[in-house]
């Protein structure tokens, strides 16, 4: 009987779900996160520009190391831009996926 009670306790649904309006300042928090995202996008554009300059400089001077680092920087900047743009969709997808776990 104890094992059945323990399993039943593990399967207990606490009934917690995200809800708007529970705490004050939600609009301010959304605004702050949106601003951080904007700054990150701007920084990513700058990083892509610098990586492109390093890539071109390495190519024209024959510095294969600098050229490789420029390519790597461009790929990293592109990946960061992809993640920043897809952040809302990724979080929504995995949050919805998480609600299906029983």
User: For the segment 61-76, what is each residue's pLDDT rounded down to a tens digit?
Assistant: 999 999 999 999 999 9
**pTM for this structure?**
0.74
What sections of the chain are H helices per DSSP? Answer: 2-10, 26-61, 64-99
Sequence-distant (6+) residues with CB within 8 A of 63 are 57
Q: How many residues does the chain have?
A: 102
On average, the pLDDT of the chain sits at: 89
pLDDT tens profile 16-38: 777 787 788 888 999 999 999 99
């Amino acid at each position: 009987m104890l094992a059945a009670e323990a399993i039943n306790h593990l399967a207990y649904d606490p009934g917690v779900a995200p809800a708007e309006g529970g705490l004050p300042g939600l609009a301010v928090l959304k605004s702050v996160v949106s601003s951080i995202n904007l700054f990150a996008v701007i920084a990513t554009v700058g990083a892509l520009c610098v990586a492109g300059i390093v890539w071109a400089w390495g190519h024209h001077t024959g510095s294969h190391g600098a050229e490789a680092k420029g390519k790597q920087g461009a790929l990293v900047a592109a990946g960061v831009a992809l993640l920043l743009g897809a952040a809302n969709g990724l979080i929504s997808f995995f949050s919805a996926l998480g609600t299906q776990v029983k």
